[in-house]
């Protein structure tokens, strides 16, 4: 080891499961690139209010005379709009940074809630078995037999627009994936010796489920969750584009793209083009990470 | 077999019933039914009379039975906007959506099969890697945005294709179709391509995986050993066998295509069912919403039922599993 040549006695590198996982993950350059890209996007989204050149919600900063300017043009007050402006004279770059915030918030938020709901139900189904199991799995089958876009559309048609409503719709659409994944791996893990041992120790059921069963079902759950975040972001964008998602006061990337739709036919491409690129890069970066996670965490591919 | 069929039918009926209850609750319990069913211009007396006539003074469970009874007779209410029976309105738009969905399926097979075949036969070539990377992009790209970009490039910049609408239609069997006229076909190219984007990726992946598996089979080796030409081995021995799973999955995806046409129809202003439902939601034309939802539920349950039955015919294990 190179660090020992420096003279000091370095502690031997213990191979923890996490380190092994990290080094396996890092084998794919593309996945590392995806992870770096996503980290960058997440940072931009989180710190948007501090790093965006303009606050697109602050009407005092907007100049309607600067509306629909081409990318790179200099508006009033010597402000350069690198990605152009929309019809209200909003800087597209700032709009995208703020839009990312909402897209990521909705995507990640719905994925976390759906994961909690779905994983709990899946765990209950696997552990309880019998009628409870078949009831929950029937619900899962029913949910999965309808395309996500339609189910979300139905729910939003009744609930109306709003960030919270979109999150609710996405949770309803997504929970079944988690439930099925967790049930599948929990059914396998349940028959292992360590669960039997825990049961022999007369540990409370709650403890067995959460401290013994759940941690061992995590790997496939993580993979599904990563992919579902990307799906949720894409679905939210689609719903917002259709005018059923987030309200106009809180524009996500999808709504920004929808705003540019009417100007597209007159050749003003940038209002829709750049938010779409941001959306695409976000989804691709998450999918790259997810693909590699699936390979690393798949027990069938263990070397 | 008969028992299995009956069980399945009863299950399907149960699901329809459950969904109708959900839709009913969605409309009647969450929103104010008076506002939904009675035109906003009605005055107080008219309103009360309508409440009585529609049975809105009855308890909720009785109302549901009334709703169910009417739905069974094909009466799902009248559209506020068009003042036509909602069901009829949707059925009028159905050919446009079906046409688009079939077009998309056709495009997906037309593009996906050759690319998947190539990628499967030459997995190491750079072009194959490019095809595979492209298929990942096809899964990641937001469909509606690609649609906008297609309009921008081919309609606005190049001016090759019309951007929106259905173009000229011809009436056949009492329904209007676009694909029979040149103008209609030109209008259909971009929406069909857009809708097929996801399916192209799917077909590429399935075909590629299928080819790589089939190439290792003994009968393919034997065909080669017999000295058959490579093209005969590829197209007769390999291609025929991979078609079965590909066609199955594409068939299963058909329902999803109809569902997703909501997005494509909105982008390209294609006057189908999907565009109608989005417009109806935006103006709160609730009878049309309810009718659309019920039709879609029915459609999907029918698709699932047909798939289940087909599987049980093809694979007896499915039937036996249900019995135990």
Q: Helices (DSSP H) in chain A: which residue ranges?
A: 17-25, 29-46, 48-51, 92-128, 130-145, 148-159, 163-190, 193-200, 205-207, 214-241, 253-264, 270-297
> What are the φ and ψ backbone dihedral angles of A9, each rounded to 5 degrees?
-90, 110
Query: Looking at residue B37, what is its pLDDT?
Result: 59
Cβ count near A297 (within 10 Å): 18
Considering the domain delimited by B92-317, tell me its CATH architecture: Orthogonal Bundle (1.10)
Q: How far, in Å, CA of A235 to CA of A229, rounded?
A: 10
Q: What is the mean pLDDT of residues B53-65?
A: 71
In this complex, how many residue pairs, one in chain A and one in chain B, have their CB atoms less than 8 Å apart?
99
Query: Looking at residue A9, what is its pLDDT?
Result: 57
Residue B323 pLDDT > 70, yes or no? no
ipTM of the predicted structure? Answer: 0.77
User: Following DSSP, what letter does each residue of A159-174 receive, concatenated?
Assistant: H-S-HHHHHHHHHHHH
Q: What is the mean pLDDT of residues B209-227?
A: 85
Q: Do A287 and B136 touch (CB under 8 A)?
A: yes
Q: What is the mean pLDDT of residues B209-232?
A: 85
Q: What is the mean pLDDT of residues B195-207?
A: 90
Residue B102 pLDDT > 80, yes or no? yes
The mean of the pLDDT values for chain A is 81
Residues in a beta bridge with B177: B170
When CB atoms are compared, the residue of B27, B145, B262 closest to A149 is B262
Query: Looking at residue A62, what is its pLDDT?
Result: 67
pLDDT, greater one: B270 or A74: B270
Nearest to A127 by CA among A187, A198, A56: A187
pTM higher than the cut 0.80: yes
Residue B324 pLDDT > 70, yes or no? no
Domain parsing of chain B, residue ranges: 2-71, 92-317
Question: Using CA atoms in the order A222, A121, A136, A176, what is the torsion angle rounded to 10 degrees?
Answer: -30
Query: Looking at residue A113, what is its pLDDT?
Result: 94
Half-sphere exposure of A41 (CA within 13 A, CB side): 25
Query: Looking at residue B318, what is its pLDDT?
Result: 59
Q: Do A257 and B262 touch (CB under 8 A)?
A: no
Cβ count near A188 (within 10 Å): 13
Residues A154-184 have pLDDT tens digits of: 888 778 788 888 999 999 989 999 998 898 8
Q: At A99, is the pLDDT very low, low, confident or very high (cuts 50, 70, 90)? A: confident
Q: At B125, is the pLDDT very low, low, confident or very high (cuts 50, 70, 90)? A: confident
Give contacts of B145 with chain A, Cβ < 8 Å. 237, 241, 257, 272, 276, 279-280
Q: Do B142 and A157 touch (CB under 8 A)?
A: no
**Which B positions 142-161 lie with beta carbon below 8 A of chain A?**
142-145, 148-149, 151-152, 155-157
Residues A182-206 have pLDDT tens digits of: 988 888 888 888 888 888 888 888 8
Residue A301 pLDDT > 60, yes or no? no
Residue A303 pLDDT > 50, yes or no? no
Q: For chain B, what is the HEC assignment?
A: CHHHHHHHHHHHHHHHHHHHHHHHHHHHHHCCHHHHHCCCCCCHHHHHHHHHHCCCCCCHHHHHHHHHHHHHCCCCCECCCCCCEHHHHHHHHHHHHHHHHHHHHHHHHHHHHHHHHHHHHCCCCHHHHHHHHHHHHHHHCCHHHHHHHHHHHHHHHCCCCCCCCCCCCEEECCEEECCCCHHHHHHHHHHHHHHHHHHHHHHHHHHHHHHHHHCCCHHHHHHHHCCCCHHHHHHHHHHHHHHHHHHHHHHHCHHHHHHHHHHHHHHHCCCCHHHHHHHHHHCCCHHHHHHHHHHHHHHHHHHHHHHHHHHHHHCHHHHHHHHC
Residue B320 pLDDT > 60, yes or no? no
Residues B243-295 have pLDDT tens digits of: 877 877 887 788 888 888 889 998 888 888 888 888 888 777 777 888 888 88
Q: At A2, is the pLDDT very low, low, confident or very high (cuts 50, 70, 90)? A: very low
């Amino acid at each position: 080891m190179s660090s020992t040549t420096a003279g000091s006695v370095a502690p031997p590198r213990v191979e923890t499961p996490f380190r092994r996982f990290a080094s396996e993950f890092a084998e794919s350059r593309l996945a590392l690139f995806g992870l770096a890209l996503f980290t960058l996007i997440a940072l931009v989204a989180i710190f948007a209010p501090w790093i965006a050149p303009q606050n697109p919600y602050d009407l005092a900063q907007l100049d309607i005379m600067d509306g629909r300017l081409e990318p790179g043009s200099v508006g009033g007050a010597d402000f350069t709009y690198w990605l152009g402006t929309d019809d209200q004279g909003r800087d597209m770059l700032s709009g995208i940074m703020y839009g990312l915030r909402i897209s990521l918030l909705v995507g990640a938020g719905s994925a976390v809630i759906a994961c909690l709901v779905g994983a709990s139900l899946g765990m209950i189904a696997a552990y309880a078995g019998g009628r409870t199991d078949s009831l929950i799995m029937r619900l899962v089958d029913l949910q999965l037999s309808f395309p996500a876009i339609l189910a979300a559309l139905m729910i939003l048609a009744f609930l109306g627009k709003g960030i919270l409503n979109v999150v609710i719709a996405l949770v309803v659409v997504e929970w079944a994936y988690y439930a099925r994944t967790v049930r599948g791996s929990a059914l396998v893990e349940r028959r292992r010796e360590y669960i039997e041992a825990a049961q022999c120790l007369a540990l409370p059921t709650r403890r067995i489920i959460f401290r013994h069963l759940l941690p061992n079902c995590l790997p496939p759950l993580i993979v599904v969750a990563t992919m579902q975040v990307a799906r949720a972001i894409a679905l939210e964008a689609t719903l917002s584009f259709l005018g059923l998602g987030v309200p106009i006061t809180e524009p996500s990337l999808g709504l920004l793209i929808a705003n540019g739709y009417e100007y597209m036919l007159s050749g003003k491409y940038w209002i829709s083009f750049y938010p779409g690129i941001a959306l695409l890069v976000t989804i691709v970066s998450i999918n790259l990470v997810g693909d590699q996670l699936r390979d690393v965490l798949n027990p069938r591919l263990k070397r | 077999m008969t028992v299995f069929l009956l069980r399945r039918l009863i299950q399907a009926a149960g699901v329809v019933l459950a969904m109708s209850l959900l839709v009913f609750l969605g409309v009647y319990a969450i929103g104010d039914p008076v506002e939904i069913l009675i035109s906003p211009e009605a005055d107080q007396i008219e309103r009360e009379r309508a409440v009585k006539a529609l049975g809105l003074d009855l308890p909720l469970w009785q109302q549901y039975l009334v709703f169910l009874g009417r739905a069974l007779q094909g009466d799902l209410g009248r559209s506020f906007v068009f003042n036509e029976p909602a069901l009829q309105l949707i059925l009028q738009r159905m050919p446009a959506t079906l046409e688009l969905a079939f077009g998309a399926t056709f495009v997906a097979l037309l593009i996906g099969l050759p690319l998947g075949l190539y990628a499967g036969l030459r997995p190491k070539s750079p072009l194959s890697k490019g095809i595979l990377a492209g298929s990942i992009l096809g899964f990641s790209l937001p469909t509606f945005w690609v649609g906008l970009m297609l309009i921008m490039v081919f309609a606005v910049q190049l001016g090759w294709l019309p951007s929106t609408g259905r173009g000229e239609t011809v009436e056949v069997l009492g329904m209007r179709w676009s694909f029979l006229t040149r103008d209609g076909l030109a209008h259909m190219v971009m929406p069909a391509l857009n809708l097929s984007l996801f399916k192209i990726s799917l077909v590429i992946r399935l075909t590629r995986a299928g080819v790589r598996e089939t190439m290792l089979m003994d009968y393919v080796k034997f065909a080669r050993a017999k000295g058959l030409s490579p093209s005969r081995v590829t197209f007769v021995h390999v291609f025929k066998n991979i078609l079965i799973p590909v066609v199955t999955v594409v068939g299963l995806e058909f329902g999803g295509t109809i569902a997703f046409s909501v997005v494509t129809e909105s982008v390209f202003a294609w006057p189908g069912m999907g565009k109608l439902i989005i417009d109806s939601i935006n103006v709160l034309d609730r009878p049309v919403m309810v009718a659309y939802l019920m039709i879609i539920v029915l459609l999907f349950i029918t698709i699932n039922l047909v798939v289940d039955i087909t599987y049980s015919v093809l694979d007896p294990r499915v039937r036996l599993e249900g019995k135990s």
